[in-house]
Amino acid sequence: MKNINTNIHCPRCNSTDLYKYGKEQKTLQQKYQCKNCYAQFVPGREYKSHNQAHHGFCPRCGSKLHIRKTNKSTIQLRCPNKLCRYSISRPLNFKQFFKYALNNNSFFKLPKFLRYPTDMLILAAKLYFKFNLSSRQVKSELALSYKKSPSHVTIINWCSKFAYYFSILYNNNFKTLNLKISTWLIDETVIKINGTKFHLFVILDPNSKFVIAWYLSPTKDTQATLTTLKLALNFTKHKPNIIVSDNAQHFQKAIQELFADSVLYLKVSLYQKSIFSNNKLERFFSTLKQNFYKRRYPKSYFSAYASIFIYIFIFNFFAVNSNMKPTPSSILGISLNIKDKFLEAFSKCIA
């Protein structure tokens, strides 16, 4: 690369401090690279305006993070500094996804259901959710009873759409609850999504073992803890008397910021034997992660959301994966009084 001094300027930052950066193979036009922002360009060619949206700063060097690439579920950010190159993946906004799902008439029609009998659909859901078989194992089991069985990808799509659909039903039908739960257990654990570590925050009622709220975040900080606490407040409509967590600083800061001194905050150590401990929540995390090991970890944020939600949904209302009788929802007096054909079929296959 040769340093040049001309009147040519960078289309991104208008800098004139440039390098010659070779020629294009097809047009043989001279390319240049900016020393300031590292943009590559050909003089005289029109370029799309650079996205100036603010995505935060690099935690290592303080530079503004730029978008490297996006897919259906995540956005990948990278530091433009060549000596740093810090990168992080963040999930896309789920509100936009649910808005699209509700406005798209073909999303929840589930057209592939029509190609197969209803009893096959119920059997596939039962094998996948209740007996925790993989999609390929479900396919082989269906092939024993039916002449034509769906592919394992179709089975995964069935289960994912079930989860998205039920999450919308759940959020729309439990807005008017008024629960007084005196004690909240809060903690987080690491979930891997396609090799990337995410943090699952969960708030649990120790008496009924009901999962009050949960949040899947790419970071472990005060903001993620605040989001989880606000979700729990929106669900119960009442503040707790006691909140129990470990000694992490982000829990203490978030609870102090949201509740000040109106809530008693207790710090406990791991597997501490006392009346107030996080042992029940640690047990919940272990069974949840066993389910993830059997699924060989989700490959996207959406599939991880579907897997976690459907597991918590079954845990709260059916308690299939535990020896709890009655179920956590029945202890709190919460019932699924929702008239929906998909939910009725799902309840039959789980029961």
pLDDT grade for 339, boundaries at 50, 70 and 90 = confident
How buried is residue 180: exposed, middle or buried, by Cβ count under 10 Å (0-12/13-18/19+)? exposed
Indicate yes or no: pTM above 0.75: no
Instruction: State whether 209 and 327 are in the same domain.
Output: yes
- How many whole angstroms separate alpha carbon 288 and alpha carbon 285? 5
- 244 part of a folded domain: yes
Highest mean pLDDT (candidates 1-10, 54-63, 129-138): 129-138
pLDDT digits (tens, 9 = 90+) for 214-223: 988 888 888 8
Q: Mark which of 128, 154, 173 sits at the end of a domain.
A: 173
Q: Which residue has the tokens 């060989």?
A: 296
Final residue in a domain of this structure, among 145, 173, 201: 173
Query: Quick one: which of 251, 248, 253, 328 has its CA closest to 284?
Result: 328
Report whether 51 contacts 64 (CB < 8 A). no
Domain co-membership, 207 together with 302: yes
Would 282 be classed as within a structural domain? yes
Query: What is the DSSP secondary-structure string of 249-310?
Result: HHHHHHHHHHHTTSSEEEE--TT--SSS-SHHHHHHHHHHHHHHHHTT--SSHHHHHHHHHH
Query: How does pLDDT run across 308-333, given as a tens digit for each residue?
Result: 888 888 888 886 555 556 888 888 88
Q: What is the DSSP letter of 246?
A: -
At a CB cut-off of 8 Å and minimum separation 6, what does 191 contact? Answer: 197, 198, 199, 200, 216, 289, 292, 304, 308
- Indicate if 290 and 188 belong to the same structural domain: yes
Q: What's the CA gap between 110 and 305, in Å, rounded?
A: 19
Q: Using 50, 70 and 90 to split pLDDT, how confident is the model at 51?
A: very low
Q: Is there a single domain that holds both residue 148 and residue 127?
A: yes
Please confirm whether the linkage preceding 326 is cis (ω < 30° from 0).
Answer: yes
Q: What is the mean pLDDT of residues 6-17?
A: 80
pLDDT tens, 64-109? 777 777 665 567 778 888 788 877 766 655 445 445 554 554 544 4
Taking 60 as the threshold, does the pLDDT of residue 3 lie above it? no
| Residues 6 or more apart whose Cβ sits within 8 Å of residue 103 | none
Maximum mean pLDDT: which of 94-98, 129-133, 230-234? 230-234
Distance of alpha carbon 277 from its chain centroid, rounded?
A: 27
190 and 274 inside one domain: yes
Q: Indicate whether 77 belongs to any domain.
A: yes
Which two structure tokens, joined as six digits, stand for 228?
Answer: 């989880």
101 Rama sector, left if φ>0, alpha if ψ -120 to 50, beta otherwise: alpha
Same domain for 114 and 140? yes
Q: What is the pLDDT of residues 151-169, one digit of tens each?
A: 888 888 777 777 777 777 7
* 340 in any annotated domain: no
249 plus 312 within the same structural domain: yes
Asked whether 268 and 274 are in contact (CB, 8 A), the reply is yes
Is residue 347 in a domain?
Answer: no
Q: Which domain holds residue 319?
A: 183-333
Number of domains in the chain: 4
Residue 106, φ and ψ in degrees, nearest 5: -90, -5
Pair 143, 198 in one domain: no
pLDDT band at 1 (very low <50, low <70, confident <90, very high): very low
Cβ atoms of 203 and 312 within 8 Å: the answer is no
Is the same domain home to 219 and 325? yes
Residue 57 has pLDDT above 80, yes or no: no
Residue at 338 is within a domain: no
Q: Using alpha carbons, list the distances in angstroms from residue 77 to 65, 74, 87, 221.
A: 6, 10, 5, 18
Q: How far apart are CA 34 and CA 251, in angstroms?
A: 44
264-267 and 242-245: which strand pairing? Answer: parallel
Regarding whether 313 and 231 lie in a shared domain, the answer is yes
Asked whether residue 211 carries a pLDDT value surpassing 80, the answer given is: yes
Segment 297-304 shows an average pLDDT of: 74
Domain boundary among 133, 155, 173: 173
User: What CATH number corresponds to the domain at position 318?
Assistant: 3.30.420.10
Tell me if 339 is assigned to some domain: no
Same domain, 214 and 140: no
Reduce the DSSP state of residue 102 to 3 states and report it.
helix
**262 lies in the same domain as 329:** yes
Residue 349 tokens read as 């296959």
